[in-house]
Amino acid sequence: MKFDLDKALEIANQAVYHTINRNLTDVEIIVFKGAWAREEYDAIAAKNQYSTSYISQDVAPKLWKILSEALEEKVKKSNFKEALKRRWQLQLNSADNLSIANKSKQQDLESDRQLKNKEIEENKQKNLTLDTYVERPPIESICYETLLQPGALVRLKAPSLMGKTSLITRILSQITTEGYHTVNLSFELADRSTHLTNLNKFLRWFCLNITRELGLLERLDEYWDEEGIGAKVSCTTYFEEYLLSKLNSPLVLCLDDLDLLFPYPEIYEDFFGLLRSWHEKARSRKLWQKLRLLIAHSTDVYIRLNINQSPFNVGLPIELPEFTSEQVQEFASLQGLEIDKLGIKKQELMSLMSLVGGHPYLLKQAFVQLKNNPNLTLEHLLERAPTDSGIYSNHLREHWLNLQQHPHLATAFKQVLTTKKSVQLEPISAYQLQSMGLVKLSGNQAEVRCNLYRQYFGDRAESF
131: pLDDT confidence band, cut at 50, 70 and 90? low
Q: Are residues 235 and 315 in the same domain?
A: yes
- The string over 92-112, giving b where at least 16 C-beta atoms fall within 10 Å of a residue's C-beta and e elsewhere, is eebeeeeeeeeeeeeeeeeee
Contacting residues for 2 by C-beta, under 8 A, at least 6 apart: none
- Whether 133 is in a domain gets the answer no
Q: Which amino acid is at 398?
A: E
Please report the pLDDT score of residue 434 as a whole number.
94
Q: Are residues 15 and 98 in the same domain?
A: yes
Which phi and psi angles does 423 have, rounded to 5°? -135, 150
Write down the mean pLDDT value for the chain: 88
* Domain-terminating residue out of 294, 319, 344: 319
Please report the pLDDT score of residue 140 as a whole number.
96
- Whether 134 is in a domain gets the answer no
Whether the Cβ atoms of residue 333 and residue 130 lie closer than 8 Å to each other: no
**pLDDT tens by residue, 191-219:** 999 999 999 999 999 999 999 999 999 99
* Domain-terminating residue out of 362, 384, 406: 384
Can you give the CATH number for the domain in which 158 is found?
A: 3.40.50.300
118: pLDDT confidence band, cut at 50, 70 and 90? very low
Q: Are residues 156 and 296 in the same domain?
A: yes
pTM of the model: 0.71
**pLDDT tens by residue, 144-175:** 999 999 999 999 999 989 999 999 999 999 99
Whether the Cβ atoms of residue 273 and residue 313 lie closer than 8 Å to each other: no
Q: Are residues 361 and 343 in the same domain?
A: yes
127: pLDDT confidence band, cut at 50, 70 and 90? very low
The count of structural domains within the chain is 4
Q: Are residues 266 and 408 in the same domain?
A: no
**pLDDT tens by residue, 272-315:** 999 999 999 999 999 999 999 999 999 888 888 888 889 999 99
> CA–CA distance from 48 to each of 40, 52, 325 (Å)?
13, 10, 51
- Whether 132 is in a domain gets the answer no
- Whether 129 is in a domain gets the answer no
- Whether 188 is in a domain gets the answer yes
With 70 as the cut, is the pLDDT of residue 245 above it? Answer: yes
Q: Are residues 238 and 193 in the same domain?
A: yes
Can you give the CATH number for the domain in which 450 is found?
A: 1.10.10
Please give the order of strands across the beta sheet that includes 153-157: 181-186, 251-256, 291-297, 153-157, 316-319
**pLDDT tens by residue, 288-298:** 999 999 999 99
Please report the pLDDT score of residue 169 as a whole number.
93
Q: Are residues 37 and 108 in the same domain?
A: yes
Please report the pLDDT score of residue 123 as a whole number.
38
**pLDDT tens by residue, 342-373:** 567 888 899 999 999 999 999 999 999 998 88
DSSP secondary structure letter of residue 155: E
Is the alpha carbon torsion for 405, 406, 411, 414 positive or negative? negative
- Whether 131 is in a domain gets the answer no
Q: Are residues 403 and 445 in the same domain?
A: yes
Q: Are residues 226 and 334 in the same domain?
A: no
Q: Are residues 166 and 284 in the same domain?
A: yes
- Whether 402 is in a domain gets the answer yes
**pLDDT tens by residue, 418-437:** 988 899 999 999 999 999 99
**pLDDT tens by residue, 42-56:** 899 888 888 888 888
Residue 344: domain span: 325-384
| Residue 182, SS3 per DSSP | strand
Q: Are residues 165 and 258 in the same domain?
A: yes
Q: Are residues 301 and 368 in the same domain?
A: no
| Residue 9, SS3 per DSSP | helix
**Separation of alpha carbons 426 and 133, rounded Å:** 36
Of the candidates 359, 186, 353, which has an alpha carbon nearest to the alpha carbon of residue 258? 186
- Whether 423 is in a domain gets the answer yes
Please report the pLDDT score of residue 95 as a whole number.
61
* Domain-terminating residue out of 124, 153, 181: 124
